[in-house]
Amino acid sequence: MTRIAALGLALAACDPAVGPAPDVTEAAACAPGDLDHPQALAFLGDTLVVASTGYATPDWGTGRVTFFDVDASRATAVQETAWQNPQGLAVHDGRVLVASTGVYDFSGSLPRMATPGGIEIVDPAHPRDGARTIPLDIGPDGRAGGPVDVVVVGDRLFISSGIAPRVHVYDLARQVWVRGPSDPVVYGDGDLGLGTLATDGRRVVLVDYNADRLHLLDAVTGEPWACSVDLGESPELEGAKAPVIVGDDLYVVLDQAGLVRRVRLPADAADACPGLRAETVAVTGLLPNDLAVRDDRLYVVHSGDNNIQVLDLATFDPVDLHVLPPGSNPWQLVFHPGRPLAAVSEWQA
């Protein structure tokens, strides 16, 4: 059975010499099929929301969103997604925003989308009553759509693509596109794009996995600022992803190189270039897949090593290591907003 692993963070502020981190407590409080290759996670109060991708070859299964009562340690509702392959989650105004990418087709010289995707807005109080949907068509050549990540700034929903270098912006209050399928925000100059997003409320950053580049976007219009930053250490693809903003610093992992990199962000568009440079602050384990921050600790999720490494944000020295089951392939880590609790999705446990 696929699991959600919950780990207490009571030792996060302790002296690292005290001893190893506590064992991870694994919660398998769900029926078979409630979880299926889970990736994205989000806390909405004491409810943990889990997006299951339904990954399978050659045919993907049905995506679903599962709601867990944290205190009761059980699933309270399971809702199938309107499209396959839900990859991203966000919480806004008491509702859950789900980005379902659709299924890729890798048979040609360039990847394309074989099936459409879109955004669903789910009311957690009535998850089975259906969701409001925002479709994103794949276009005649399958090179459009593919929503993969979402962040919210005010009433603006930013949606990145997993197929091309473009971003869509949707006004959640007015329920209209600011930059829709006919007029997406285009960043970079390549044919491919796989963007992950982060925001601190003032800035929106997009990290393109396929180009190892950082792009800064206007938090209202989505328009790119007048530069981008190379996040890699070499000309080869190193796989930049999982952006996290701490103050004026942006942290990302390079999953193919096993590195954590840092960029000092400018305050506004006028100061964006030149001079932005990425620096390596930590060498990680195998396949770092996600980053999260709690207090003065940086948490690095290793899908290859099946563990979570904890680094001191001041020195980047390792202070803890949470070991997960062999072969579990941990994917994403999120923290409860008000309690010493985190959840980790195990993709193929």
Q: According to the model, what pLDDT value does residue 26 have?
A: 52
Contact of 90 with 73, CB cutoff 8 Å: no
> Mean pLDDT for each consecutive 10-residue tract of the chain (349 residues)?
47 30 49 81 95 87 92 89 97 96 92 96 82 92 95 98 96 96 91 95 94 94 88 93 96 97 85 82 96 97 96 97 93 94 87
The closest alpha carbon to 195, from 239, 152, 230, 227, belongs to: 239
Which residue is listed with tokens 């909405």?
44
The alpha carbon dihedral of 153, 247, 15, 257 has a sign of positive
Judge whether 118 and 144 are in contact, CB under 8 Å: no
* Residue 12 pLDDT: 26
| Whole-structure pTM value | 0.91
| Residue 227 pLDDT | 78
Whole-number pLDDT of residue 33: 63
Q: What is the pLDDT of residue 302?
A: 97
Helix, strand, coil % in the chain, rounded to nearest 5: 5, 50, 50
CA distance 97 to 94: 10
Q: Write down the pLDDT at residue 181.
A: 92
State which fold the 43-186 domain adopts: Methylamine Dehydrogenase; Chain H (2.130.10)
Residue written as token pair 């789910």: 122
**Cα 155 → chain centroid:** 20
**Predicted pLDDT at 4:** 54
- Best CA proximity match to 79, nearest among 151, 148, 131: 131
The torsion defined by the Cα of 317, 321, 326 and 332, in degrees rounded to 10, comes to -80
Domain segments of the chain as ranges: 43-186
Q: How far apart are CA 266 and CA 212, in angstroms?
A: 19
